[in-house]
Structure 1
Amino acid sequence: MLMNFLRKLMYGRYGSDYLSFFLLFLYVVLIFISALPHMAWVSWLALAVLLWNLFRMFSRRIDRRRAENARFLALFGPFIRWFKMRRTIHRDKDHRYFKCPNCGQYLRVPRGKGKITVNCRNCGASFEERS
């Protein structure tokens, strides 16, 4: 019953994207800041951020929301990719990751193979590393 209501409510609407998640994170940070002494006015800013996020999620102007998200990713996309790569490297205990000195592509090799020659699939450069 509830799922059908939510499906009908969100039909034809934009929903969430990277900018929505960023705005939600910003809202939470602003709420914590507003709890500090003499910073109660920040809660109004947090409310404005939350309302803007809800407006974006329930909007039917999908083309405009996609353009907003594309502009956001143009600015913050490299940081998002860097953060995801760091998380992957930290979680993967079976492989070592190297950055190609020529093109910057990340390359994954198995751990514990000693000194190996790593070949970049992107640019064809070769270099030696310890795995």
Structure 2
Amino acid sequence: MNQMRDQFIRFMTGRYGADKLGRFLTAAAFVLFVAGLFIRNPLVDFIAVAVLILSYYRMFSRNIRKRFEENQKFERFCFKITETFRRLRFRFQQGMKFHIYKCPGCGQKIRVPRGKGKIKIHCPRCNTDFIKKS
């Protein structure tokens, strides 16, 4: 068993290996295979095999720099998506606890706690006072 492991380690030396994009492609191929069981369309199976081949091609590639750049682009794309959802979640949580008003003088956003009735709001930027219902 150790001999097979050593042979595999020697084979993978100088190759890129698995990364986040590779794991995503492998998972996508698995999902497509499962979907193909229910859809029964040969095109879905063909796409699943193509995605799996692409995943293994990236894993066994010796062009490490190019595979690294591909993974970085994928991670930047994932970060944009997760950051968008994180911001939406934060806005929703803030909206439950606070009202956000714009100052009529300068347009500065001011956060005010909900449920305090009519209050006088002071803008820290332009020192304008205005009355709003919280």
**TM-score interval w.r.t. the shorter chain?**
0.5 to 0.7
Q: Structure 1's 81 and 54: CA in aligned 2 closer, same or farther, altered over 3 A?
A: farther
Scaled by the length of structure 1, the TM-score of the pair is 0.58
What amino acid is the match of 1:73? Answer: E
- Matching residue of 2:49: 47
- Matching residue of 1:67: 69
Normalized per residue, the structure richer in helix is 2
Structure 2: which 5+ residue stretches go unaligned?
Answer: 85-89, 92-134
Higher Rg of the two aligned structures:
2
Deviation at 1:39, TM superposition (A): 2.2
In 2, Cα distance between the equivalents of 1:8 and 1:81?
A: 39
- Matching residue of 1:13: 15
Alignment partner of 1:52: what SS? helix
Deviation at 1:81, TM superposition (A): 8.2
Q: Does 1:57 align with 2:59?
A: yes
What number of residue pairs does the alignment pair up?
86
Q: Structure 1's 64 and 49: CA in aligned 2 closer, same or farther, altered over 3 A?
A: same
- Matching residue of 2:78: 76
In 2, Cα distance between the equivalents of 1:43 and 1:25?
A: 14
Contact map agreement 1:33 1:39 (CA 8 A) in 2: no
Structure 1: which 5+ residue stretches go unaligned?
Answer: 83-98, 102-131
Identity score, percent: 31
In 2, Cα distance between the equivalents of 1:80 and 1:18?
A: 15
Q: Of 3, 6, 23, which aligns to 1:4?
A: 6
